[in-house]
């Protein structure tokens, strides 16, 4: 069953309506209960944390899955990737170096909650494709 459309109050008109373009919008920081509707599809957050993806630094919302953080970075592509968002497809697999780890580890970005200072060292082909315009231009992206 397709998920119900979400209501967003920051659309261009003042009328109450269902907005299909809403997932493309970057939500504002959540400050109050009423604003929490505007934070979707992100979990409520109060600050951004810095992570590194293939050597490039990004600010992403705390308390969100790494895949949601990728969506924050690239809202125009990640929602249209072939991601199941529930640990089945494996298209979101990454390798990461966590601040307290000696070695990098593989993980599913739809499951792992972002940690400040984490470094993503490898991306799946699907993620490379979706993030290609945000990452270093010498990155080999499959066609
Ligand atoms: S998005 Fe499918 S396993 Fe993570």
Residue 111 lies in a domain: yes
Q: Is the CB of 84 under 6 A from ligand 1?
A: yes
Strands 119-123 and 105-108, bridge-based pairing: unpaired
Query: How many Cβ atoms from other residues are within 10 Å of residue 38's Cβ?
Result: 19
Lookup result for tokens 């269902």: 18
pTM: 0.73
**pLDDT tens per residue across span 83-142:** 999 999 999 999 999 999 999 999 999 999 999 999 999 999 999 999 999 998 776 665
Question: Considering only CA atoms, which of 72, 33, 28, 27 is closest in space to residue 49?
Answer: 72
- Look up residue 93 and give its two tokens: 């697999």
Residue 140 lies in a domain: no
Atom of ligand 1 nearest to the CA of 109: 4
Domain that residue 112 falls in: 42-130
Atom of ligand 1 nearest to the CA of 110: 4
Residue 49 lies in a domain: yes
Q: How many domains does the chain have?
A: 1
Domain CATH number, residue 89: 3.10.20.30
């Amino acid at each position: 069953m397709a998920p119900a459309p979400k209501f967003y109050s920051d659309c261009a008109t003042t009328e109450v309506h269902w907005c299909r373009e809403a997932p493309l919008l970057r939500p504002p920081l959540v400050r109050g209960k009423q604003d929490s509707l505007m934070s979707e599809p992100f979990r409520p957050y109060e600050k951004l944390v810095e992570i590194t993806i293939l050597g490039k630094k990004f600010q992403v919302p705390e308390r969100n899955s790494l895949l949601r953080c990728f969506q924050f970075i690239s809202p125009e592509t990640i929602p249209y990737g072939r991601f199941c968002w529930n640990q089945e497809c494996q298209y979101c697999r990454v390798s990461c170096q966590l601040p307290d780890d000696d070695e990098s580890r593989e993980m599913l970005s739809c499951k792992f909650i972002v940690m400040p200072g984490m470094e993503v060292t490898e991306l799946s082909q699907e993620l490379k494709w979706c993030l290609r315009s945000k990452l270093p231009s010498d990155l080999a992206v499959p066609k």
